[in-house]
């Protein structure tokens, strides 16, 4: 159980949640530390590395150039669409499988071994197989994204569906609610916090899956943009791509946190923060 | 007798499910083209060929070396760093947001930079595994440090505890369970890092084996590698969970 996001995410507070909590006294040390890191990076690169290596000043100068570059925008759009499409498919199928696992012991017994097993597998290992199956195409990228993300969602939804309070189900049964209705109107909403935690995990993995697939298969996208530019010694341009990916990662965290708070105010994930 | 019955009841679904999966795999493999999917039996035969030619074990050894070097480096740098951040509050407040950003950044994106700056060789690959591994360890250690009740440190201080014994008797025992959560997460990530490094930097180890098989359209070889790496993944995850659970008893 502990390998789901719950163990490390929801119960304890998440990093993004903490960053979002306002602490007026924290700004100064954070600012100073950030400045120190950037200065150190700049100085080390200037002193020891060849001119093409990315450093803060040149990366900042590259930002306007990169974000107006149509090639970059196209690459960005392509990756974004693939991740969105993959995540949408994952969310629907993963939730259905997860609900089935959580509410039916038979289903759980039959497929849990496989879900756990695939989840423990380093996901990028399937790339050579997917390149054989789907060719060097964007189909292989979608498949990689789905494979990378689906097990996180399934496991979390299954845990969530299993932890629905018994009383809810008893009430539903005494009102003769049909099975499907109980599932969609009671089990699903009750396992929402788990689903969101799974989604946070899955989104990160989907992003990694997309980038790795683009590296491996040489399909156009943000990952390939980074690969191509760093190969041709345009490190600054490539690094803007990395910044965007990092922003994505952080953005997903913040989004999930925000929606947990907004739509599930009863679910206090930040209780532990001192 | 009842023990045996209980054991059967407990493990039977697991084995039935495994056997059913293997049967399904076998049928699917036999009814599709050989280039697309290889049945379970064919995969085992190919695996045995790879093992008996000695190729497999040398590659496994290469991969294990990379995994362990990167992982241990991350542990021996990440854990003390985490503890230091835990103890020096101002440092923690300052650095934590950046740690979190690095924790959320897909590290694979840095591989092309590492490639063009450090080239091929063992060191850049170790760096990749290290980068994949170190942040969960540091991050969770810091997380653990938050859980230390300030009163404990105050009591220790009012008894004029030295810095050393404060670390030994309060800091380390309190943060260790959290650190082990980090270790568990790090094991999984290190495995991904290892394969990614072997794919995209100089090709060695199990990564090379599977890529070579894929380039030769040797589907059986690809399946054999995926099977073995998958099992390694499951084994290491189990190990990580056990380590975490062992230390979790300390956590109240």
Query: Per residue in B85-116, pLDDT tens?
Result: 888 888 888 888 888 888 888 888 889 888 88
Ranges of chain A whose pLDDT falls below 50: 1-14, 16-21, 269-274
At residue A11, the pLDDT reads 39
Nearest to B67 by CA among B7, B130, B20, B138: B130
Q: Does residue B190 have a pLDDT over 90?
A: yes
d(CA B238, CA A120): 9
At residue A5, the pLDDT reads 41
Q: Where are the domains of chain B?
A: 39-248
B26 and A CB contact within 8 Å = no
The 10 Å Cβ neighbour count of residue A104 is 12
Mean pLDDT of B32-53: 85
Using the beta-carbon criterion (under 8 Å), do B104 and A120 form an inter-chain contact? no
At residue A268, the pLDDT reads 54
Nearest to A4 by CA among A164, A204, A113, A160: A160
d(CA A177, CA B220): 50
At residue A274, the pLDDT reads 28
Nearest to A168 by CA among A182, A152, A150, A149: A182
Using the beta-carbon criterion (under 8 Å), do B222 and A128 form an inter-chain contact? yes
Using the beta-carbon criterion (under 8 Å), do A253 and B241 form an inter-chain contact? no
CA A132 to chain B, closest CA, distance in angstroms equals 7
CA A41 to chain B, closest CA, distance in angstroms equals 14
At residue B235, the pLDDT reads 93
* Residues in chain B, overall count: 252
At residue A187, the pLDDT reads 86
Position of tokens 């925008």?
A73
Domains and CATH numbers, chain A: 73-263 (1.10.3720.10)
Token code pair at residue A4: 């789901």
B192 and A CB contact within 8 Å = yes
**Whole-number CA gyration radius for chain A:** 22
Q: What is the pLDDT of residues B201-251, one digit of tens each?
A: 888 888 889 988 888 888 888 999 999 999 999 999 999 989 888 887 765
Of B21, B113, B219, the CB nearest to A132: B219
Confidence of residue B15 (pLDDT cuts 50, 70, 90): confident
Specify the range with the lowest mean pLDDT, choosing from B15-29, B160-174, B199-213: B160-174
Q: What is the pLDDT of residues B109-132, one digit of tens each?
A: 889 888 888 888 899 999 999 999
Of A53, A125, A250, the CB nearest to B229: A125
Position of tokens 């949640």?
A17
Using the beta-carbon criterion (under 8 Å), do A120 and B200 form an inter-chain contact? no
Nearest to A217 by CA among B118, B230, B211: B211
At residue A169, the pLDDT reads 84
3-class SS of residue A121: coil
List of residues 6+ apart from B31 with CB closer than 8 A: none
Using the beta-carbon criterion (under 8 Å), do A19 and B188 form an inter-chain contact? no
Q: What is the pLDDT of residues B171-183, one digit of tens each?
A: 888 888 888 888 9
Confidence of residue B2 (pLDDT cuts 50, 70, 90): low
* Residue A189 CA from chain centroid, whole number: 21
State whether the Cα torsion B119-B193-B138-B171 is positive or negative.
Answer: negative
* Residues in chain A, overall count: 274
Q: Does residue B3 have a pLDDT over 80?
A: no
CA B81 to chain A, closest CA, distance in angstroms equals 15
B210 and A CB contact within 8 Å = yes
Of B13, B106, B115, the CB nearest to A245: B106
For chain B, give the mean pLDDT.
Answer: 86
Token code pair at residue A18: 């903490």
Q: Does residue B38 have a pLDDT over 50?
A: yes
CA A251 to chain B, closest CA, distance in angstroms equals 9
Which of B112, B217, B238 is the mutation pick for testing A, counting most A CBs within 10 A?
B112
> Which stretches does DSSP call E strand in chain A?
none
List of residues 6+ apart from A10 with CB closer than 8 A: A193, A194, A197, A267, A269
Using the beta-carbon criterion (under 8 Å), do B229 and A121 form an inter-chain contact? yes
The 10 Å Cβ neighbour count of residue A36 is 12
CA A130 to chain B, closest CA, distance in angstroms equals 10
> Using a CB-CB distance cutoff of 8 angstroms, which residues of chain A are in contact with residue B139?
15
DSSP state, residue A122? -
Residue of A nearest to B227 (CA): A121
Using the beta-carbon criterion (under 8 Å), do A129 and B184 form an inter-chain contact? no
At residue A2, the pLDDT reads 38
CA A178 to chain B, closest CA, distance in angstroms equals 28
Question: What's the CATH code, domain B39-248?
Answer: 1.10.3720.10
d(CA B112, CA A245): 14
Q: Is A116 exposed, middle or buried (0-12, 13-18, 19+ CB in 10 A)?
A: middle
């Amino acid at each position: 159980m502990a390998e789901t996001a719950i163990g490390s995410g929801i119960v304890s507070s998440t990093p993004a949640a903490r960053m979002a909590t306002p602490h007026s006294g924290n700004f100064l040390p954070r600012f100073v530390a950030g400045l120190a890191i950037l200065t150190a990076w700049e100085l080390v690169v200037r002193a020891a590395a060849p001119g093409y290596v990315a450093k803060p000043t040149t990366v900042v100068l590259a930002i306007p150039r990169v974000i107006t570059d149509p090639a970059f925008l196209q690459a960005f759009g392509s990756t974004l669409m693939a991740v969105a499409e993959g995540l949408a498919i994952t969310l629907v199928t993963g939730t259905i499988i997860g609900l089935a696992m959580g509410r039916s012991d038979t289903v759980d017994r039959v497929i849990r071994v496989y879900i756990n097993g695939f989840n423990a597998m380093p996901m990028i290992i399937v790339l050579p197989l997917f390149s054989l199956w789907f060719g060097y195409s964007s189909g292989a990228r979608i498949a990689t994204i789905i494979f990378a993300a689906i097990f996180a969602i399934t496991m979390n939804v299954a845990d969530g569906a299993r932890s629905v309070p018994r009383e809810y189900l008893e009430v539903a049964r005494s009102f003769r609610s049909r099975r499907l209705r109980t599932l969609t109107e009671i089990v699903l909403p009750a396992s929402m916090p788990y689903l969101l935690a799974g989604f946070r995990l899955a989104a990160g993995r989907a992003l990694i899956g997309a980038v790795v697939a683009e590296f491996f298969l040489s399909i156009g996208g943000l990952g390939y943009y980074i690969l191509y530019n760093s190969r041709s010694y345009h490190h600054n341009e490539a690094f803007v791509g990395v910044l965007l990916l990092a922003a994505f990662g952080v953005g997903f965290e913040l989004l999930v946190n925000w929606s947990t708070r907004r739509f599930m105010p009863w679910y206090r994930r930040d209780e532990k923060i001192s | 007798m009842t023990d045996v019955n209980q054991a059967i009841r407990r493990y039977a679904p697991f084995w039935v499910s495994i056997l059913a999966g293997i049967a399904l795999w076998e049928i699917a493999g036999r009814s599709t083209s050989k280039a697309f999917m290889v049945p379970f039996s064919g995969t085992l035969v190919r695996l045995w060929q790879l093992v008996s030619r000695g190729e497999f074990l040398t590659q496994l050894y290469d991969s294990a070396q990379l995994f362990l070097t990167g992982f241990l480096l991350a542990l021996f740098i990440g854990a003390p760093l985490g503890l230091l951040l835990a103890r020096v509050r101002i440092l923690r407040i300052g650095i934590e947001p950046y740690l979190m950003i690095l924790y959320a950044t897909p590290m694979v994106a840095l591989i092309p930079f590492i490639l063009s700056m450090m080239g091929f060789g063992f060191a850049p690959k170790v760096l990749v595994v290290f980068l994949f591994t170190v942040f969960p360890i540091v991050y969770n250690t810091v997380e653990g440090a938050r859980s230390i009740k300030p009163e404990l440190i105050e009591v220790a201080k009012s008894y004029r505890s030295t810095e050393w014994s404060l670390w030994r008797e309060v800091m380390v025992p309190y943060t260790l369970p959290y650190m082990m959560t980090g270790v568990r997460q790090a094991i999984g990530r290190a495995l991904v890092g290892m394969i990614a490094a072997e794919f995209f930097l100089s090709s060695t180890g199990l990564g090379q084996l599977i890529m070579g098989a894929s380039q030769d359209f040797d589907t059986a070889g690809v399946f054999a590698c995926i099977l073995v790496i998958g099992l390694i993944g499951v084994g290491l995850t189990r190990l990580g969970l056990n380590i975490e659970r062992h230390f979790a008893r300390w956590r109240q």
